[in-house]
Amino acid sequence: MQPQAPDIVINDSVVLPKFVLSAVAARGADARILAREARLPGWLFTAVQGAISSLYAIRLWELAEWALQDPDIAVDIAGRHQHGDLSLYDYLFLSAPTLRDGLTANGEFLHLVTNNSRWAVLEETDRNVTYSYAHSIRAHRGIELGAQFGLGLFCAKVRDATGRPVVPVSVGFAQRAPRSHRAIADAFGTRQVEFDQPVNTLTFRQSDLDLPLRGADPVLAGILRRYAAMLPAAEQVTWYEQFKTLLYDSLAAAPTLDTMAAQFAMSRRSLQRHLAEHGTTWRAELDHARRRRAEEAHSAARPTLNSLARQLGYSDARAVSRALRRIGKG
Catalogue all structural domains in the chain, each as residue range(s) with its CATH number: 8-230 (3.90.1520), 239-327 (1.10.10.60)
pLDDT at 52 over 70: yes
Ranges 32-46, 49-63, 178-192, most confident: 178-192
Write down the mean pLDDT value for the chain. Answer: 85
Helix (H, G, I), strand (E, B) or coil at 93: helix
Helix (H, G, I), strand (E, B) or coil at 225: helix
pLDDT at 296 over 80: no
What is the pairing mode between strands 170-172 and 193-194?
parallel
Higher pLDDT pick, 304 / 55: 55
The per-residue pLDDT for range 151-166, each reduced to its tens digit, is: 999 999 999 999 999 9
Mean pLDDT, residues 48-66 taken together: 86
The per-residue pLDDT for range 241-267, each reduced to its tens digit, is: 778 887 888 777 788 898 888 766 678
Q: What is the pLDDT of residue 310?
A: 63
The DSSP secondary-structure symbol of 191 reads: S
The DSSP secondary-structure symbol of 98 reads: B
Q: What is the pLDDT of residue 10?
A: 66
Q: Are 202 and 226 in contact (CB under 8 A)?
A: no
Mean pLDDT, residues 66-75 taken together: 95
The per-residue pLDDT for range 170-228, each reduced to its tens digit, is: 999 999 999 999 999 999 999 999 999 999 999 999 999 999 999 999 999 999 999 99
